[in-house]
Structure 1
Amino acid sequence: MLPGRPGESARVSDSDKVAAPDGSTYNVIDTTFVQMMIVHHGQAIEMASLAGTRAGDDQLRALAGRIGAAQGPEVAWMRAWLRDRGLPESDPGHDHTGMPGMQSAADLTALAGLSGPAFDRRFATMMTAHHQGAVQMAGDVLGGGSDERLREVAGEMAVEQSSEIRRIQELDLAA
């Protein structure tokens, strides 16, 4: 539903042909990705913030710091993307717990209760799964999204998060 100008009626449009103020088009795949990725990134930032005081491995702590530093600005960009299109930040119909890679509240609580090598191993496992989920979600936009700039951003996210997975795997976190 697209609102009309003052005095005009609203009209229905195909979601694949909705234009943003900058003239770019977007569809429901784009919108869903952005709304869900804000929540997804929020959880990664939460997990990364725990590493500052709990990680035993300096390289893991540094990597977690980079994860938080990178994803914060991406969340701000995604919020602006939605705001520029007059879209809500979240859709109550989305089941965020079912998103690929999302960790349960119990898993986050357990992670927060760990420190040193035990934290490092659990963080590595959880963040790897979390990033794999984000890469999967980015693939949805790359395969069916309409917004060219958003597809570029999703592609960059997938490359960066795949690289971070490799960095985590290269750390020697065995007991």
Structure 2
Amino acid sequence: MLVELAVLAMVAAGAAAVVWWPDDQPKPAAKASPPESLALPGLPKATAPVLLPGAPGEAAKTLPANEMPPVPRRSHNNADIRFVTMMIPHHEQALVMAKLVADRGENRQLKIIADRILAAQEPEIKTLETWLTDRGLNRNSGPGHQHGMAGMQSAEALEQLTAARGAEFDRMFVTMMVEHHQGAIDMAGEVLALGVDGVLNEMASSVIVEQGAEINRMREALGARPPAS
């Protein structure tokens, strides 16, 4: 019995030693209890349904929007291929005509314009050929009907231009190249309206601006006024 009382007294004394703290000493800060975890909302398991048309003879079905597979963006379409495969031979014919100017023409301004045509369209042909190669295509991937290209000159017209000299050559060159440039502008407008390739979109926009300006320069070189718009 005396032993038990002694143990109790020791426990009580220890408890008192823990609780009591001198008044002139700062008490230790109590340990903060850990914050309770917050329940965050999870992602919805489903979203608004999307209607998917079925194949011919099959009923439509619905899928949650978050289960819809991504729709791949087309890198090019038939209008792009048509533009490239027709613009390459179109540019090549422009180079044939432009190379005749140095030896046959007499108008200095037309010779400068011809040099600009050569400098611009030769690199564009390479760009267009690379575009086809990168997509596993070639010149024959398009319609392949040169006679249907706007502004293309006939073999007979090219022979007459080759045989001409001096002022007669300059006049024929401007007439034929204006028609040729206008054809390129028409094809560029078509691909801008129907094509989807960004590179060709930029090239077509450049064709419209630059060849439109060259048409005016060629007419001004012969003293002809551009037609009223």
| Residue 163 (str. 1) matches residue 213 (str. 2) | yes
Instruction: Report if aligned partners of 1:48, 1:65 keep a CA contact under 8 Å in 2.
Output: yes
Paired positions, count = 153
Question: What is the deviation of 1:93?
Answer: 4.1
Larger radius of gyration: 2
Counterpart among 176, 186, 203 of residue 136 in structure 1: 186
Distance 1:148 1:119, change over 3 A: same
Question: What is the deviation of 1:92?
Answer: 7.2
Distance 1:149 1:116, change over 3 A: same
Q: Write 1 or 2 for the structure with the bigger share of helix.
A: 1
Question: What is the deviation of 1:81?
Answer: 0.3
The AA in structure 2 aligned to 1:161 is Q
Corresponding residue number in structure 1 for 2:126: 76
> Once superposed, what is the RMSD of the aligned Cα atoms?
1.5
The TM-score with structure 1 as length reference comes to 0.83
Q: Which runs of 4+ in 1 moved over 4 A?
A: none
Corresponding residue number in structure 2 for 1:153: 203
The AA in structure 2 aligned to 1:164 is E
Q: Separation in 1 of the partners of 2:143 and 2:200?
A: 22
Corresponding residue number in structure 1 for 2:80: 30
Question: What is the deviation of 1:173?
Answer: 5.4
Q: Which blocks of at least 5 consecutive residues in structure 2 are unaligned? A: 1-71, 225-229
What is the identity percentage for the equivalent residue pairs of Structure 1 and Structure 2? 46
Q: Separation in 2 of the partners of 1:26 and 1:92?
A: 13
| Residue 45 (str. 1) matches residue 95 (str. 2) | yes
Instruction: Report if aligned partners of 2:95, 2:118 keep a CA contact under 8 Å in 1.
Output: yes
Q: Deviations over 1:86-124 (max 9, x none)?
A: 001234742101210000000000000001100000000
Instruction: Report if aligned partners of 1:18, 1:26 keep a CA contact under 8 Å in 2.
Output: no
Q: Deviations over 1:13-33 (max 9, x none)?
A: xxxx785xxxxx100000110
The AA in structure 1 aligned to 2:169 is F
